[in-house]
Amino acid sequence: MSAVSLAKLSFRLNRAAGVSSRLPGVILLTDEARLPDPLVAAAALPRGGAVILRHYDAPGRENLGRELMALCRQRGLALLIAGDWRLAWKLGAHGVHLPEWQLWRPPAVARKPGWLITAAAHSPSALVRAARLGVHGALLS
């Protein structure tokens, strides 16, 4: 199934469930090991999708973020920066993604108006914590 088909299906399921959400239908998570250069994959996403820049320890993370931000603006995608609200602010990203460990010690940051906030949850307690923090969505794995 294509990314466009998955996005349409996710929006349809959300509408049928009565969920009105700003969450994109398709979200690409970058990963240094599995997807060293996420630009090609990000360029294939349908308009309205999102990219979560993880690449936590990659040298040149900020430069990769700049390249992704330019691509996202051009393609109508949202860019969220994982674990680093300062970099998200600096790049003009569309929001932040909290890795699970940040759910227990969230960064003290005033939310930027319009930012999309997501979180990773790997357990029921993490999902509850994400809900209490008021994130817009949790990615379960």
The answer to whether 129 and 103 have CB atoms below 8 angstroms apart is yes
Cα–Cα dist 55/57, whole Å: 6
Give CA separation, 69 vs 64, 65, 100, 115, in Å.
8, 6, 24, 14
**Mean pLDDT computed over every residue of the chain:** 87
Cα–Cα dist 7/44, whole Å: 12
Contacts of 28 (CB under 8 A, 6+ apart): 38, 41, 42, 45, 49, 50, 51, 52
pLDDT in tens, 79-137: 999 999 999 999 999 999 999 999 988 776 656 778 999 999 998 899 889 888 888 88
pLDDT band at 19 (very low <50, low <70, confident <90, very high): low
